[in-house]
Amino acid sequence: MNILLNGVGRIGKSILRIANSSNSLNITTINELNTNIENIAYSINYDSTYGRFEDRFSVVDDTIVNSTSKIKILNYQSLFDIDFKTHNIDIVIDASGSITDTEELKKLDLNYIFLTHPNKNADANIVLGVNEKEIDLESCKIISTSSCNATALLPVLKCIDDNYTIDYGDITTVHPLLNHQKTLDGGCIGSHDRDVHCNFEFGRSAVQNIIPSQTTTIEACSYILSHINSENISSSSLRVPTATVGAINITMSVQKECSKDEVISLLDAYQENQEFDIIYNNTQALVSSDFVAERYTSIIDHRFTEVKKNKMIKLVVWYDNEWGYASKVVDIVGLINK
């Protein structure tokens, strides 16, 4: 089916690069607020984090073209302004980050709309490796691919919960800076899309500070597994001055007794038998930059795996919050498209 990608920011650009390199999705159209088509092609071709795209795009009239794709560029302010039949579009991947009324989205003449953020009102929220096989495609039109943090965290939590039953726990995400933050101190930052009126901390320099903040990671997880929620798992976040790759420190109290070796064996078995690139078990002395552009989204660093008194499990999970997450969006859309 023909796909329109709405927005080529950090996530949209990664989706496009991954899909174009693997020929896994037929992205025929991009809708982007930036009206400078030369700049759109330039920003896809050259990236300070992931480097140069080898199969570079050039501009031909109102399209960008490389050796495998010809993608029409639109500049509509809203999805509701687009005539999808005229442009022969079947699916939209909305990577704009904008929060839109799902009931209004359902009125659009499309087969599916994928949202690259958690949305409790979507027909389904999907994290690959957790619930993709439970989705009823006949009744689902608005599908959320959840968040980068939930994509990294929830497969691990489900694996532990299925085998040992989680009572309660705590997570701390160590998250790279994002585009809405500031390079130097300024005024507070408000965001309608993030339901924030005026965040004082995000008005501080993102390149000079570790910035504590709240995180909606557990809330996003609860949309998929209702018993994984803020009543039994607390959460917080630290924004750090790196471009990409986050980490999640996980502490869980479980009902069934286990040992460190048993937990590692369980996660090793998961990696060996999984259908998609989700869990990867690491024991090497690696740092965050070693995981840049890594497709695996739950990289468990077993140098820090611990089990205390047979019922408290501690794990550290790495993930590329842009490329890794985008790879799972591509996988989910490709799976449903197939």
Structure confidence by residue, pLDDT tens digits, 68-117: 999 999 999 999 999 999 999 999 999 998 888 999 999 999 999 999 99
pLDDT, position 155: 98
- Measured between alpha carbons, how far is 338 from 331 in angstroms, rounded to an integer? 10
pLDDT, position 193: 54
- Measured between alpha carbons, how far is 321 from 240 in angstroms, rounded to an integer? 13
CATH architecture, domain 3-116 = 3-Layer(aba) Sandwich (3.40)
DSSP annotation of 127 reads: -
**Parallel, antiparallel, or unpaired for β 306-308 and 312-319?**
antiparallel
Q: Which two tokens stand for residue 232?
A: 């039994």
Instruction: List the end-to-end C-alpha distance of the chain, in Å, as a whole number.
Output: 9
CB 328 within 8 A of CB 132: no
pLDDT, position 195: 65
- Measured between alpha carbons, how far is 258 from 192 in angstroms, rounded to an integer? 44
Which segments of the chain have a pLDDT < 70? 191-195
pLDDT, position 137: 87
| Coil, strand or helix at 182 | strand
Do 149-321 and 3-116 have the same topology in CATH? no
- Measured between alpha carbons, how far is 296 from 87 in angstroms, rounded to an integer? 34
pLDDT tens, position by position, 292-327: 999 999 999 999 999 999 999 999 999 999 999 999
Per-domain residue ranges of the chain: 3-116, 149-321
Q: What is the largest CA-CA distance in the chain?
A: 66
pTM of the model as a whole: 0.96
Q: Which two tokens stand for residue 187?
A: 């005024």
- Measured between alpha carbons, how far is 229 from 61 in angstroms, rounded to an integer? 50
CA-wise closest residue to 49 among 177, 158, 183 = 177
| Coil, strand or helix at 105 | helix
- Measured between alpha carbons, how far is 159 from 270 in angstroms, rounded to an integer? 8
CATH superfamily of 149-321: Dihydrodipicolinate Reductase; domain 2 (3.30.360.10)
* Beta bridge partners of residue 31, listed in sequence order: 6, 74
- Measured between alpha carbons, how far is 133 from 201 in angstroms, rounded to an integer? 40
Q: Exposed, middle or buried by CB within 10 Å (0-12, 13-18, 19+), for 144?
A: buried
CB 261 within 8 A of CB 322: no
| Coil, strand or helix at 81 | helix
pLDDT, position 191: 66
Residue type, 95: A
